[in-house]
Amino acid sequence: MRFVNRIRELGHLEAEYKDIRAKCIVIYGRRRVGKTRLIEEFLKNKSHAGYYLAAQESDIQQIEEFKSVIYSLIHDEFLRQNKFTDWKHLFTYLEKIWPRETRIVLAIDEVTFIIKSNPSFTSYLQKFWDECLSKTKTILILSGSLVGLMLSEVLGHASPLYGRRTSQIQVETLHFKEMRDFVANRSFKEQLEYYALVGGVPKYVLLISPQETIEQFIMTKCFSPEGFFYQEGLFLVSQEFREPSVYMNILKAIAFGHTKLNEIANFTGIEGKKISSYMDVLIELGFARREVPITEDPARYRGAIYLLADNFLSFWHRFIFPGRSKIELHEEKVLYTEKKKEIAEFIAKKFEEICRQFVRKVYAYERVGKWWGYYRNEVQKRIEIEVDICAIDRKQKKLLVGECKWSDNVKAVSLLSELERKAQYIEWNKSSRKVEYVLFARSFVDKDKLKNRGDVTVFDLEDLEKKWK
């Protein structure tokens, strides 16, 4: 796999390597996000580096394979020739022979597979660290994709390893700007569409064939029983939960637009009192996120919405999982024809998120998100309103508002007029703020009419592509 971006993460590892003291570095993040590739890149040109990829095997099998990695580092014949039946005895022996002055990097990837097989492993590793590795020049890297187990059994207060880590890296999905490097041969519009469907997971992006259309990609890789993505959403949830059905129903509810706690409860049939605890778990594990209007205090606001934190999971729960009956019957063309309009609407919503990423990168605002609220008309009817992009700078009392349209030939003047009307209902420093407007669309018919407005910026896809380079 090509190594793209991860400059900050790799820089951190290299800085830790230059500090010759012992290090225990924890790397975690969802499957296929690039943790292993980051470790591989870091281990390049390190003269004493060992990499062990754990598997779902018995202790004896794991120990034998782990022993081979250790032997390649320290070449101890007794270690190679003798069998160790448990981790405790292996680590006890390693304490006696481990080099004290050599800068060794030892990476244990997918360590959660060992922990699942033997929960005592962390206790034995803690003793090995305390009594041996911490007194050497070794860097120990522990990496895992089972985020729940990493948080509880490696990073958590109750873990024997708690307090031993010297740093941690949460490897997250790539933003659109970084994802583009994987599909540089595609048009900017296609890059946006693919990002809307699979997000910034490197493995997913690498599955995009150079010549296939969006329609072909969806039908062969998503709407096919043999397609890579058909079961992927189920794998992601099942690996974290013993009984995934409850969480699957919650994720499906959110994917279908039921984003408030009471709406999720009604859709799933789960008691309202229990929904909050389920949502806390999904947020902690990176499946969902909680959002409030950007002008509100997240701790106090009671009307929060919940969204899926991952583009692919949103697409999978919205289209692939509900369409499995047709998929199993190989009716991918029928399913795609039925859902084509909804898929376009789905991409349009994700375009809003991409535009928010753009604002975070290009504009110097303290907080960037969206805003929603309501007003009452002349007959006191409640009218809901939403602004796609809203950013605030509390120090300078600046407000940025923006609208996004995944359409061609948009009338910029009309769109601005509607945005100005909505902005009047945002009750944030209303008497003293300075307001800036930004408009996004695939193309506009009249953007030149706004070129003399110093408080308005208009971006079509051509503008976005140039600016994002």
pLDDT of residue 252: 95
pLDDT of residue 379: 86
pLDDT of residue 167: 96
Per residue in 203-239, is it b (16+ CB within 10 Å) or e — as a string?
Answer: ebbeebeeeeebeebbbbbbbeeebebbebbeebbeb
Task: Using 50 as the pLDDT threshold, list the residues of the chain that sit under it.
Answer: none
CATH architecture of 363-468: 3-Layer(aba) Sandwich (3.40)
pLDDT of residue 1: 53
- For residue 307, what are the β-bridge partners? 289
424's tokens: 């009047």
Q: Residue 387 phi/psi, 5° resolution?
A: -115, 125
CATH architecture of 183-353: Orthogonal Bundle (1.10)
Domain boundaries along the sequence of the chain? 7-170, 183-353, 363-468
Torsion angle of C-alpha atoms 149, 154, 159, 164, degrees rounded to 10: -170
Q: Of the candidates 327, 146, 79, which has an alpha carbon nearest to the alpha carbon of residue 219?
A: 327
pTM score: 0.90
What is the rounded CA–CA span in Å between residue 469 and residue 465?
6
pLDDT of residue 128: 97
pLDDT of residue 272: 84
pLDDT of residue 4: 64
pLDDT of residue 242: 81
What is the rounded CA–CA span in Å between residue 280 and residue 287?
10
What is the rounded CA–CA span in Å between residue 436 and residue 359?
12
The CATH fold of domain 7-170: Rossmann fold (3.40.50)
pLDDT of residue 3: 63
